[in-house]
Amino acid sequence: MSEATANMRARDIAGPGDYFDLLKPRVMSLVIFTAFVGMAAAPGSIHPALAAISLLAIAVGAGASGALNMWWDADIDAVMTRTAGRPVPAGRVPRAEAAAFGWFLSALAVALLALASNYLAAGLLAFTIFFYVVIYSMWLKRSTPQNIVIGGAAGALPPVVGWAAVSGAAPLDAWVLFGIIFLWTPPHFWALALFKKGDYERAGVPMMPVVKGVDSTRRQIFAYSIVLALAGVAPFLIGTTGYLYLVAAGALGGYFVYAAWKVLRAAPDDQRPAVHLFKFSILYLFALFAVILIERWTGLHG
């Protein structure tokens, strides 16, 4: 199908749901949650209405990044089974409209956050969008097997943005939360890349299993998992969290390492451990950040 034909079809059948899909709602949910935890953990206070608007702005910024990523990566998405049904490669939304939609939402999100909270938070959000779209999507993704390692900084910034929105600062406590997500990103996405290796090969994306091989990727997943488990207890060590978090981080981190060990020791054609690690990694991050909320809401940590 030519791009002109796809654009004609898109104008006929695109609906609100297609534009919502451009925002990558599943990814957005993780961004919203980690940003919310950053807001809840930050010292100080913010009016509930301004907090809600700030969180909305962060969500819109995340969605804008997703739309711009789909615009830029439409050629890659079209040849990957995991992404071929997305609105742009499926021909439901023209690339130009996806780009305009994404850039408009980016400007709206940054301006809204500046008005609702402060310029530091807005600047961090703008940098997050820039890093994900320009540094990761346009440059790193197609040029290096370290794409997801470096590019993971964009997905790790939301708790820092949320923290800054409330306190007007970005202290060490916030950057420790950033570090956890940053270290979580490689084993999470490399586990996905192990059982979607064929997709990345067809698309020409130099993901780690494609460039360095399955065995090397498994070893790196295991190494990152150990470092992640250790980093997971850092919020307790610097006083950001309490003993409930320490216990949860220890248990979750220990199982993460065990799941990564199963990936490392799996038979060459056995993808089940990688699928399990990928799914558990999502639960790990949600659970770890949820405990921070529980401690704050129950007064277990001041």
- Model pLDDT, residue 218: 97
Give 23-48 pLDDT, tens digit per residue. 999 888 999 999 999 999 999 889 99
- Model pLDDT, residue 12: 52
Give 117-146 pLDDT, tens digit per residue. 999 999 999 999 999 999 999 999 999 999
Domain of 266 in residue numbering reads as 171-302
Same-domain status, 156 and 178:
no
* Measured distance CA(196)–CA(193) in Å, rounded: 5
Burial class (CB in 10 A: 0-12, 13-18, 19+), 201: middle
pTM value? 0.92
Q: What angle do CA 193, 195, 197 make, to 5 degrees?
A: 55
What is the share, in percent, of the chain residues with pLDDT greater than 90? 85
Does 89 score more than 60 pLDDT?
yes
Domain edge (last residue) among 118, 147, 170 = 170
Answer yes or no: is 215 within a domain.
yes
CB atoms within 10 A of CB 228: 27
Give 173-201 pLDDT, tens digit per residue. 999 999 999 999 999 999 999 999 988 99
* Measured distance CA(209)–CA(194) in Å, rounded: 6
Mean pLDDT of 235-257: 97
Domain edge (last residue) among 120, 143, 170 = 170
- Model pLDDT, residue 69: 96
Does 93 score more than 50 pLDDT?
yes
Same-domain status, 182 and 136:
no
- Model pLDDT, residue 182: 97
Looking up residue 74, the CATH number of its domain turns out to be: 1.10.357.140
- Model pLDDT, residue 137: 94
